[in-house]
Amino acid sequence: MPYALAPQRKKRKAPAFHKLWEPVGKNFPNMPPLNSRGDRPLQMDFEQQLKALVFFHLEEHKSGRHLLQVLQDDDFARQEIA
């Protein structure tokens, strides 16, 4: 069952996220684009997928559903990733 985030948690910044993303962001223009291997087009581009992965590991989410719940509720996550 999804949990409700505390209002004070929504307003915090994640300096660790930006520190980890900085080297990737500098080298990101040199990376090849991510292509779909199937008939369905990708719903997220490569940059969004990498940001979600970094955020997932920094926040120590328990599951993908938990991450999706946070992406819906947390302003920082919504702004930076989705």
Q: How confident is the model at residue 5 (pLDDT cuts 50, 70, 90)?
A: low
- Model confidence, pTM: 0.60
| 82/76 Cα distance (integer angstroms) | 10
Question: What integer pLDDT is reported at residue 11 of this predicted model?
Answer: 47
User: Which of these, 77, 69, 71, 72, lies nearest to 2 by C-alpha position?
Assistant: 69
Written as six digits, the tokens of 82 are 């989705």
Residue of 10 and 35 predicted with greater confidence: 35
User: Which of these, 55, 46, 63, 67, lies nearest to 21 by C-alpha position?
Assistant: 55
